[in-house]
Amino acid sequence: MNSIIESFSRAVSLILNLDKELWGIIFLSVEVSGTALVAATLLGLPAAAFLGFKRFPLRGAVVSILNTFMGLPPVAVGLFLYLLLSRSGPLGFLSLLYTPTAMIIAQTILAFPIVTCLSHSAIVSVDPIIRQASMTLGATQFQVSLSVIREARYGIISAVIAGLGRVMAEVGAILIVGGNILGFTRVMTTTIAMETDKGNFELALALGIILLSISLLINLTLYFVQKRGAAGAAR
């Protein structure tokens, strides 16, 4: 028990004295996961709207497949991308392996099904009256879609938060395609795994606390956005 308390207090003093190298690692984490989340949202939201508004054959199958992909194992995604991007692979000419771009691609693949599926269920659970009302008011198909998405926005924010949780915590895929190279592709989660391996538990713990704090900060921000919006809608 004492050693846990000791580790924690040393971790806190490490956080208070962050060096340049650690700042770089934290910044790269936010950059990679943030970019991946934006990309997943830009791709996932139109996909969710398409699934929600259009009727086409095999639509149910597509939704089921996306639902399954919400649980994609990160290491499997990492391995698949590795084979694709490695020099002997089909996309090897792009020289993307062991770069932050490869890490962003991996995390986008992981977050896309989550953002899409959860946004889709938010869109389909909007009261059909909204749709009918805007249609009677003479709105075009596009305007109808917009008003439905507007109505579903809090569910969509939750979808983005879930996607964020996925990418910030992820280590399996980015370790494989990023290579954990110091100053280039080393991020918080890969550093935690490595330092634990080396027995530097204090540093690993310090990074874990920072990682949690960043996630908490983002979640709180989105929560307040959501809450203010909900209060506004009720008025």
By CB under 8 A, name the binding residues for another protein: 86-87, 97-98, 179-184, 186, 190-191, 194, 197-199
d(CA 109, CA 125): 25
Closest to another protein by CB, 24 or 165: 24
Residue type, 207: L
Among all chains, which residue has been given the structure tokens 């499997």? 76
What are the tokens at 225?
């956005």
Q: Smallest distance, Å, CB 191 to another protein?
A: 8
* CA 205 vs CA 14, 174, 195: distances in Å: 10, 20, 9
Collect all residues with Cβ–Cβ distance below 8 Å to 221 and sequence separation of at least 6: none
Residue type, 135: M
Closest to another protein by CB, 194 or 209: 194
Closest to another protein by CB, 97 or 207: 97
Return the SS3 of 45. Answer: helix
Q: Smallest distance, Å, CB 132 to another protein?
A: 57
Closest to another protein by CB, 198 or 235: 198
Q: Smallest distance, Å, CB 108 to another protein?
A: 21
Q: Smallest distance, Å, CB 1 to another protein?
A: 16
Q: Smallest distance, Å, CB 198 to another protein?
A: 6
Closest to another protein by CB, 3 or 17: 3
H helix or E strand, kind and range, residue 28 = helix 20-53
d(CA 116, CA 146): 16
DSSP string, 113-126: HHHHHHHHHHHHTS
